[in-house]
Amino acid sequence: MRVEGSGAIVAGGASGLGEATARALHERGAHVTIADLNQAKGEALASELGERARFVTCDVTDEEQVAAAVQQAAPDGLRISVCCAGVGWAERTVSKRGPHQLVPFETVLRINLIGTFNVLRFAAAAMNELEPLVDGERGVCVNTASIAAYDGQIGQIAYAASKGGIVGMTLPAARDLSSRGIRVVTIAPGTFDTPLLGALPQEAREELGRAIPFPQRLGDPAEFAALAIHIAENAMLNGETIRLDGALRMPPR
């Protein structure tokens, strides 16, 4: 897949991993649609990037908004979809307060898992309308899981379940779409320097970095973006979840 000249949509593209990916795609010459709930940040980023960048307000749990966002990206010849939208929640299965609340569990799954599925299905449908490239490829969908899908820690049951679902649907989605020349690959990042960790004291962030075997630091969102670009360009990557974690295996807590 040639990134230059291709249309791309980045869900959750206004900050963190999504912002870095939107920047990298734009730098490589893609026409980038930034889809996010944060209008202020999304519009600011699109304005900064300038030509070949646009912002659209999008709640990934709302299928009409996802369909509309994809429709805005479609005229560019949508070949690349990256979904980085997601939230976390910390609560044990049972605590002093009683059983885990159902609403937060449902909310995390709805945003992280169903939201990713919404972006995947609507983006793939748009790609399916395109003429295949020389090698028969029509597009690539990159999803974001987490190493919590494998190493979920205490209090991460909702988050781990949602990310595990993304890992679980990667291969069947790739198989479903193989006859259409559309690839599906998931990135499972470890501990990255994103706004989610930005509220932590510097000492706490450094301690998290020291827990990573090598390199002993938090991941840089630009490293996630670089992998997303490589996935787009490497046609043999399909149906796989790639851990991007510096060999980190998270302990129970």
Please tell me which residue in 55, 89, 122, 159 is annotated as part of the active site.
159
The Cα-based distances of 5 to 27, 28, 79, 115, 208 in angstroms read 11, 9, 10, 27, 39
Strand-pair partners of 241: 186
The Cα-based distances of 246 to 7, 20, 228 in angstroms read 31, 19, 17
Strand order in the sheet with 241-244: 53-57, 31-36, 7-11, 78-83, 139-144, 182-189, 241-244
Q: 63: buried, middle or exposed (CB in 10 Å: 19+, 13-18, 0-12)?
A: middle
Note if 150 is an active site residue.
Answer: no
Catalytic residue positions?
159
